[in-house]
Amino acid sequence: MVVCNRGERLDGHSFAAPTHTLAQVQKMKGKGWASLINSTPNGGNIMSKINQVERIRYSGGLLGLLFGSSKGKLNDKVTQMNESGWHLHFIHGDNPNLLIWILRMLILIVTLGLWTIGSSELLVFEKDDG
């Protein structure tokens, strides 16, 4: 686990900093665990984040192979979101189910290999709340 200096793991979950003293824990005891988890040892609060998920779809088949640019689509989307204050947190490759694979093959056969539904990726963006 990699820890950022803001008191968050890179997977976006908050954590109680290991530098809380026993006295600080006992002082927050009556306030519930949320007070301990969402605080830092110096009394400040951990910055909260909001997330947004965007999907990028690619074209498949011969047309997708010749004219598709995954780097270009990804770069355009990240640039657009950065201008709105969002920062890319992680990319998740979409895993299609069996029905989608069958549909892709049928479309590929009907279009004689020119086009089909391509793969996609889910981009998770985050920015500070507030």
Same domain flag for 81 and 122: yes
In this structure, the answer to whether residues 56 and 120 fall within a common structural domain is yes
My answer on whether 61 and 117 are in the same domain is yes
**Residues 73, 34 share a domain:** no
User: In which domain, by residue range, is 86 found?
Assistant: 49-128
pLDDT for 44 beyond 80: no
Which one-letter DSSP state was computed for residue 13? -
Tokens of 103: 């549909």
**DSSP structural state of residue 55:** E
* Calpha distance 31→124 (Å, rounded): 33
Instruction: Map tokens 């279009």 to a residue.
Output: 111
CB 93 within 8 A of CB 42: no
* pLDDT tens string 54-88: 999 988 888 888 888 888 889 999 999 999 999 99
| DSSP of 80-110 | HHHHTT-EEEEEEE----HHHHHHHHHHHHH
- The verdict on 53 and 85 lying in the same domain is yes
**Given this model, what pLDDT does residue 7 score?**
42
- Same domain membership, residue 107 and residue 65: yes
Sign of CA dihedral 81, 85, 86, 87: positive
The single residue listed with the structure tokens 């690619």 is 58
- The number of distinct structural domains making up the chain is 2
Same domain, yes or no: 106 and 90: yes
Q: What is the pLDDT of residues 76-128, one digit of tens each?
A: 999 999 999 999 999 998 888 999 999 999 999 999 999 988 889 999 999 98
pTM of the model: 0.58
> What 3-state class would DSSP assign to 5?
coil
Same-domain check for residues 66 and 90? yes
The verdict on 28 and 82 lying in the same domain is no
Residues 3 and 20 in one domain: yes
Same domain for 77 and 99? yes
Alpha-carbon gap, residue 66 to 61, rounded angstroms: 9
